[in-house]
């Protein structure tokens, strides 16, 4: 399923980043507890509710939480919080269609059976049945798979947000290996000629600033360096470079610079 491009506003990006951090923190806590529920469904309910009657006839509830099961006690509450934070990030997560549908149901139809564990709550001493505990154990298995997919997707989204908030430089995105005669752009490797590699090395070192042939020649200690010729032959072999190398003027002292498109 397609994911939406990230917004351009820094404030919006920071808000998404905050929600992703909350989701990741909740998942770090929940996943080990779900494994425990799967492997040990017979454990006593960590939340025990006793209904009490007050003199005016109004019913109230007193809740006692078993400290031995504090992890389980927080599961249902944290699943609710998780769906709240996911509502702000779901459009940017690279989840498959089935997983995204399940998350959308949890967001719009809370409380949802598949994101709720009734055996974790005991009311007035009524313990859960063996069948109910088996259902919750199976639910823990299924939900763990979904949450692990969300966790992986959140890690990917965290990287995308980092690139948006602090875009990598030309030097970080392009690498020139003159010995091997290659240049790597965003992970894609191109084979280049020696004079092309030389020109690209200086363009990458300039980190997006313009560079001219005479400037390179002076650095090399030679009388002339024809950067225009090197770029022309490079683009003829690899047209992709025509989109990322900009020529600033057309005279004999033309200056060139690398202008990489932003990463999503």
By DSSP bridging, strand 47-53 and strand 121-123 are parallel
Q: Tell me the mean pLDDT in the region 69-80.
A: 80
d(CA 43, CA 140): 14
Mean pLDDT of the chain: 87
Distance, in Å, from the CA atom of 28 to the CA atom of 247, rounded to the nearest integer, reads 50
Q: Residue 58 — very low, low, confident or very high, per pLDDT cuts 50/70/90?
A: low
At 211 the pLDDT is 94
What radius of gyration, in Å, describes the C-alpha atoms of the chain?
A: 29
| The listed CATH number (1.10.10.10, 3.40.50.1000, 3.40.50.300, 3.30.70.100) that belongs to domain 170-258 | 1.10.10.10
Give pLDDT, residue 109.
72
Q: pTM of the entire structure?
A: 0.71
Question: pLDDT value at position 249?
Answer: 78
**255, 210 Cβ separation under 8 angstroms:** yes
Q: Which two tokens stand for residue 58?
A: 């109004």
Cα 32 to chain centroid distance, Å, stands at: 21
* CB contact set of 226 (below 8 Å; sequence gap of 6+): 195, 213
Of the pLDDT bands very low, low, confident and very high (cuts 50, 70, 90), residue 67 is very low
Task: Quote the pLDDT of residue 61.
Answer: 52
Predicted pLDDT of residue 114: 72
DSSP 115: G
Predicted local distance difference test score (pLDDT) of residue 120: 84
pLDDT of residue 63 exceeding 60, the answer is no
pLDDT tens-digit series, residues 84-94? 999 999 999 99
Q: Which residues contact 195 (CB under 8 A, 6 or more apart)?
A: 226, 229, 230, 233
Q: Residue 24 has which token pair?
A: 């990741």
Does residue 234 sit in helix, strand or coil? helix
110 DSSP 8-state letter: -
202 token code pair: 């200086």
Whole-angstrom CA distances from 37 to 28, 34, 46, 147, 177 are: 15, 5, 12, 15, 53
CA distance 68 to 106: 28
Q: Position of tokens 């225009």?
A: 228
| Rounded-to-integer distance, Cα 135 and Cα 129, Å | 10
């Amino acid at each position: 399923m397609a994911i939406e491009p990230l917004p351009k506003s820094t404030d919006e990006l920071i808000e998404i980043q905050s929600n992703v951090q909350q989701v990741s923190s909740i998942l770090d806590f929940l996943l080990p507890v779900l494994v425990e529920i799967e492997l040990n469904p017979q454990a006593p309910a960590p939340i025990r509710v006793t209904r009490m009657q007050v003199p005016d006839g109004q019913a109230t509830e007193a809740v006692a939480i078993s400290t031995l099961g504090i992890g389980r006690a927080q599961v249902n509450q944290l699943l609710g919080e998780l769906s709240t934070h996911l509502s702000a990030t779901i459009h940017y997560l690279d989840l498959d269609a089935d997983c995204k549908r399940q998350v959308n149901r949890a967001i719009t139809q809370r409380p949802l059976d598949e994101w709720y564990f009734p055996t974790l709550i005991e009311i007035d001493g009524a313990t859960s049945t063996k069948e109910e505990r088996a259902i919750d154990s199976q639910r823990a298995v299924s939900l763990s798979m979904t949450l692990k997919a969300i966790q992986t997707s959140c890690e990917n989204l965290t990287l995308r947000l980092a690139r948006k908030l602090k875009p990598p430089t030309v030097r970080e995105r392009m690498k020139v290996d003159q010995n091997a005669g290659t240049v790597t752009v965003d992970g894609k490797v191109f084979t280049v000629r020696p004079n092309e590699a030389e020109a690209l090395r200086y363009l990458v070192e300039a980190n997006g600033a313009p560079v001219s042939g005479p400037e390179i020649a002076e650095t090399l200690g030679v009388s002339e360096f024809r950067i225009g010729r090197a770029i022309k032959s490079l683009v003829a072999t690899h047209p992709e470079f025509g989109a990322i190398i900009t020529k600033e003027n057309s005279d004999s002292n033309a200056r060139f610079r690398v202008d990489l498109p932003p990463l999503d």
